[in-house]
Amino acid sequence: MAAAAPAQPLDQTVVSRWPSAARHVPEARHHLRATLSRWGQLELADAACVVLSELMTNSLKYAKERGRHIETRFVRLRDSTGRPAGLRLEVHDADRAHPVLHSPTPDSESGRGLPLVDAITAGRWGTASRDGIGKLVWAEITDCA
């Protein structure tokens, strides 16, 4: 009888740093999709990629600390039984100002990103200050979202 292969620990958090340039947003989405595929949670990819795009785009638009990187964190969520239950996305930047959810008017040309994030996550998103400089914006996408 062949010996069983040892159990491999699952990566629970993936951290990446991206230059502050819009051309890296598609790369980050591709990286997220590959991570979700590896975790067996590809069903979350479409919603998660929209949320990641919106959060990274806001960071690029409003964080004025040029030359700084944007950090992303993908955290695998588990339920009380230890089964995969979703994803927590975090986007870290050097800007201290926290985004605020507003309702755009029908003829507004911008301002729809956070309402979209709020709808996709059923309100499971927020912000936090970081040690040192900057903030993070987080959002959770669950299997039942």
Written as one string, the DSSP assignment of 64-133 is --TT-EEEEEEEEEE-TTS-EEEEEEEEEES--PPP------TT-SS--HHHHHHHHTTT-EEEEE-SSS
* Cβ 56 vs Cβ 72: under 8 Å: yes
Neighbouring C-alpha atoms within 13 Å toward the C-beta of 26: 1
pLDDT, tens digit, for every residue of 133-142?
Answer: 899 999 999 9
- Average the pLDDT over each of 10-24, 55-69, 81-95 and give the range with the smallest value: 55-69
Task: Report the share of the chain in percent with pLDDT over 70.
Answer: 87
Q: Taking the model in full, what pTM does it have?
A: 0.85
pLDDT, tens digit, for every residue of 18-30?
Answer: 999 999 999 999 9
Please state which CATH number belongs to domain 13-142: 3.30.565.10
**What's the CA angle centered on 127, arms 118 and 22, to 5 degrees?**
75
Quick one: DSSP state of residue 22? G
Which residue ranges make up each domain of the chain?
Answer: 13-142
